Structure 1
Amino acid sequence: MNTADLGLPVDVPSTALFTDQYEFTMLQAAMKSGTAERRSVFEVFTRRLPEGRRYGVVAGTGRVLDAVENFRFDPDVLAFLRERKIVDEETLDWLADYRFSGDIWGYPEGEVYFPGSPIMRVEGTFAECVLLETVILSILNHDSAIAAAASRMSSAAGERPIIEMGARRTHELAAVAASRAAYLGGFTSTSDLAAGFRYGIPTVGTSAHAFTLLHDRERDAFRAQVKSMGRGTTLLVDTYDVAEAVRTAVEVAGPELGAVRIDSGDLLLVAHRVRQQLDELGATDTRIIVTSDLDEYAIASLAAAPVDAYGVGTQLVTGSGHPTCSMVYKLVARAESADPTAPLVPVAKKSSGGKTSIGGRKWAARRLDEYGAAEAEVIGTGPVPDALADRQLLVELVKGGDVVARESLDVVRDRHTAARANLPLSATQLSRGEPVIPTEYVNGRSGGLTGS
């Protein structure tokens, strides 16, 4: 709940129990084996993009930083762990003083990513890093999925604004996070007031069908709304007969009517008819807003329609068919002992079944072609090749436990717009395809491949 942009103090509860039980049982066992204090490196990445997607969007980083800051074990949390016998007293004593004191690096929020991209790297002792796995993944997987869907939708919409209106289609807290991710991905406003309050996102909203049905006549409903909100309001015109409603709306509000909203029917056909009718009635500046279970494909199909704005709900907050990014949080390196000066040893899961990973603390860079467009995501261990030194993607987010890279949501939003524009043109195609650029794994010393 980052309210830094608004300067609003908010009492944020502990995030320490937004986790899985095995994080605690691993901690206890590691403490008993003497390995808990070994310096460790964990990385967040995904092995593949959702089927058919060309790129991913890093979202939720700001919320992760808030969650890490508020990962505290207050008396009530400790009492719960004690009552359930989750861990023993020695571990509880250690948790009572928990404060993450390590470092976190990551792709800047709003940046795009590809299979294998180390979008976040968490470094510290095994004990303090392992506890953060679940909360980090839950935030990044959710927010990045929503942002990717939003990015595709805003790209399909072009210059036309899109309103996020999915609060009633998901969990109330997920709705706020989804609104933030949607704004990052290119949406222009939200219907969710909690999102507006917490993140400063512009909010909009007028009326639903219930308001029209409340009144004896549609005309009475329109009069009441115009009297309350002014002629520039948006009137919902598909409760009964659309043509009659449009005529009534202009009679009530005059040609200064701000907009009409259409929420059902063949939107392409109805939008053309409504535009013609509005123009004939002299309401040439009245805008047309369409809603009704839109996704990026429906938005693209309306590109030639006289539509001025879109409202998207269900498909946005469910990731347009891909509600998670399948990101994982894996240990990729650890020290040989608890000695702070002990060297790091690369480690990696090597089991079959498509879940192998590549060990070692990684860097990432994006190679550009002769025209300045991205042509490859390059990931490696060891020294960074000179040719990629100024194209590195990871930035420092937390240093010694302190957040050092908090950003406003508008900065993050602008970054995504720039990052998407830097991709090949095929990135915005809605047809299914492979990632728009390949991922290359190299050893920084030799330039040779180390995995795929």
Structure 2
Amino acid sequence: MSASTALHTDRYELTMLDAALRDGTADRRCVFEVFARRLPGARRFGVVAGTGRLLSLVRDFRFGDDELRFLRDERIVDAGTLDYLADYRFGGDIQGYREGELYFPGSPILTLEGTFAEAVILETLVLSVLNHDSAIATAAARMSVAAGDRPLAEMGSRRAGEGSAIAAARAAYIAGFAATSNLAAGRRWGVPTMGTAAHAWTLLHDTEEDAFRSQVAALGAGTTLLVDTYDIRSGVETAVRVAGTGLGGVRLDSGDLPTVAADVRVLLDELGATDTRITVTSDLDEFAIAALAASPVDSYGVGTSLVTGSGTPTAGMVFKLVARQHSDGAWQAVAKTSADKASRGGRKAAFRTRDDGVATTELVVVSDGFEGPARSSEHPDARALQVPLVVAGETDASFEGPQGVAAARAHHARVREELPVQALALSRSDPAIPTIFRDAE
């Protein structure tokens, strides 16, 4: 077993468990749902990410001796609850949207069914993963839309916590980025890695030419040389003189990028380096990338804006109890009714209706509770959105690891093609398609 994730939780989840074990409600079958009330930042769609990470973390949600000792020493729960936790393993069912799928307000992104005791204590873990990764993936998708066919590289590890940096690289790759600078993401998740040299490399050497000659000797003429440590024009001329007209690329990390990129392209062509690519990496976000659409830029490197969600660092998802079972087996829908934070009770089955392949609505069918797979929406061109992720505590391994990341990336590329054209605009607006709730027949 990997390191336990059992204390990746908030205290109130365990105090609720403790009280439920005392009053006899711990074994009630319950349905919990993860959804977003709105799309933060008035964006037009969201992207689900983190599912594959979450599944492995749920599997490792076990209480070992160290975790139990901490709970006992801090007097967080009583002895009976410690005995329950010593044997804890999530044995319920989880279904949800595929990783890489699009979501909208009210989409039932993840549904957990199990006893109250086994499901409620997963709330913080579920939300911490999905809120972070989905925020990054949504920002990355917007940047990918702005970049068009030009590749994007994730370069934000130095602007995030060490674990978050790896998760961000993974999420960005799923949503359309081509590579990451983070080696841990490459090893763990199969994300292609890239990188050559920083300004420190040039400053280390006595001259810029010495630095370039050393880099070319090590990495070949196809490398990318960073040409703006000193004077950009001189840097480009030196780069071509050292590497020849077969130089792979130059990187620009400062200045008025549209103007600088245009000037560098002219200079490269004059020097005969017509195939040398230009990469830009200076504080980019989706709007800066869109502004460079007409510039002679071949690829982008994005750091700070990406790993902070480009101004929206969380997806705003919540985890709510939506149905519970009575002792006679009947299900009852339950929901909050508080102002501004009301939820919709009942188990949900979700479908995306389409017209000639273009998404038109997020159709959510609601019932008190039903068994089995999601029902047909009775729409001739609807696509079911939920898939089984965990069945009776057993995880579908195809969603995990590098193969799960590759599948999520491919799925995202497919479903983004369904979006209506207005969904690709970067301006603040309403969701690209409405969410419609319908009671089950």
Q: 1:160: which partner in 2? A: 150
What's the CA shift string for 1:341-372, capped at 9, x where partnerless? 622111000111x1001101111111112x22
Q: Which amino acid aligns with 2:102?
A: V
Q: 1:4: which partner in 2? A: none
CA distance in 1, matches of 2:272, 2:287: 32
Report the secondary structure of 1:328's partner residue: strand
What's the CA shift string for 1:350-400, capped at 9, x where partnerless? 111x1001101111111112x221100011213654226962211100000
Q: 1:394: which partner in 2? A: 386
What's the CA shift string for 1:309-335, capped at 9, x where partnerless? 000000000000000011000000011
Report the secondary structure of 2:6's partner residue: coil
Asked if 1 retains the 8 angstrom alpha-carbon contact of 2:351 and 2:377, the reply is no
Residue among 72, 87, 90 paired with 1:97 = 87
> 1:17-416 residue pairs with structure 2 within 5 A?
17-337=7-327, 342-352=329-339, 354-369=340-355, 371-382=356-367, 384-387=376-379, 391-404=383-396, 406-407=398-399, 408=403, 409-416=405-412
Asked if 1 retains the 8 angstrom alpha-carbon contact of 2:228 and 2:235, the reply is yes
Q: 2:372: which partner in 1? A: none
Report the secondary structure of 1:391's partner residue: strand
1:428 aligns with 2:421: no
Asked if 2 retains the 8 angstrom alpha-carbon contact of 1:104 and 1:399, the reply is yes
Q: 1:442: which partner in 2? A: 438
What's the CA shift string for 1:199-249, capped at 9, x where partnerless? 111101110011101111111111111111111111000000000000000
CA distance in 2, matches of 1:247, 1:394: 55
Q: Which amino acid aligns with 1:209?
A: H
Q: Which amino acid aligns with 2:387?
A: V
What's the CA shift string for 1:9-35, capped at 9, x where partnerless? xx6211101110000000000011100
Q: CA offset at residue 420 of structure 1?
A: 1.0
CA distance in 2, matches of 1:433, 1:350: 27
Asked if 2 retains the 8 angstrom alpha-carbon contact of 1:166 and 1:312, the reply is yes
Q: 2:370: which partner in 1? A: none
Report the secondary structure of 1:117's partner residue: coil
What's the CA shift string for 1:50-74, capped at 9, x where partnerless? 1320000010000110111100101
Q: 1:5: which partner in 2? A: none
Q: CA offset at residue 444 of structure 1?
A: 2.0
TM-score by length of 1: 0.94
Q: 1:258 to 1:385 in 2, by over 3 A?
A: closer
Q: Which amino acid aligns with 2:437?
A: Y
Q: 2:414: which partner in 1? A: 418
Q: Which amino acid aligns with 1:200?
A: G
CA distance in 2, matches of 1:201, 1:410: 9
Asked if 2 retains the 8 angstrom alpha-carbon contact of 1:41 and 1:124, the reply is yes
CA distance in 2, matches of 1:126, 1:21: 16
Count residues in correspondence: 430
Report the secondary structure of 2:412's partner residue: helix
Q: Percent identity?
A: 61
Asked if 2 retains the 8 angstrom alpha-carbon contact of 1:398 and 1:405, the reply is no
Q: Which amino acid aligns with 2:204?
A: L
* Structure 2: segments with no counterpart, 5+ residues: 368-374
Asked if 2 retains the 8 angstrom alpha-carbon contact of 1:365 and 1:388, the reply is no
Report the secondary structure of 1:320's partner residue: helix
Report the secondary structure of 2:34's partner residue: strand
Report the secondary structure of 2:398's partner residue: coil
Q: Which amino acid aligns with 2:337?
A: K
Asked if 1 retains the 8 angstrom alpha-carbon contact of 2:236 and 2:268, the reply is yes
Report the secondary structure of 2:245's partner residue: coil
Q: CA offset at residue 182 of structure 1?
A: 0.3
CA distance in 1, matches of 2:433, 2:5: 36
Asked if 2 retains the 8 angstrom alpha-carbon contact of 1:250 and 1:257, the reply is yes
Q: 1:91 to 1:389 in 2, by over 3 A?
A: farther
* Structure 1: segments with no counterpart, 5+ residues: 1-10, 446-452
Report the secondary structure of 2:32's partner residue: strand
Asked if 2 retains the 8 angstrom alpha-carbon contact of 1:16 and 1:70, the reply is yes
CA distance in 2, matches of 1:239, 1:124: 58
Q: Which amino acid aligns with 1:381?
A: V
CA distance in 2, matches of 1:133, 1:318: 22
CA distance in 1, matches of 2:249, 2:175: 25
CA distance in 2, matches of 1:176, 1:405: 20
CA distance in 2, matches of 1:25, 1:136: 18
Q: CA offset at residue 256 of structure 1?
A: 1.1
CA distance in 2, matches of 1:249, 1:404: 50
Q: CA offset at residue 406 of structure 1?
A: 2.5
Report the secondary structure of 1:386's partner residue: coil
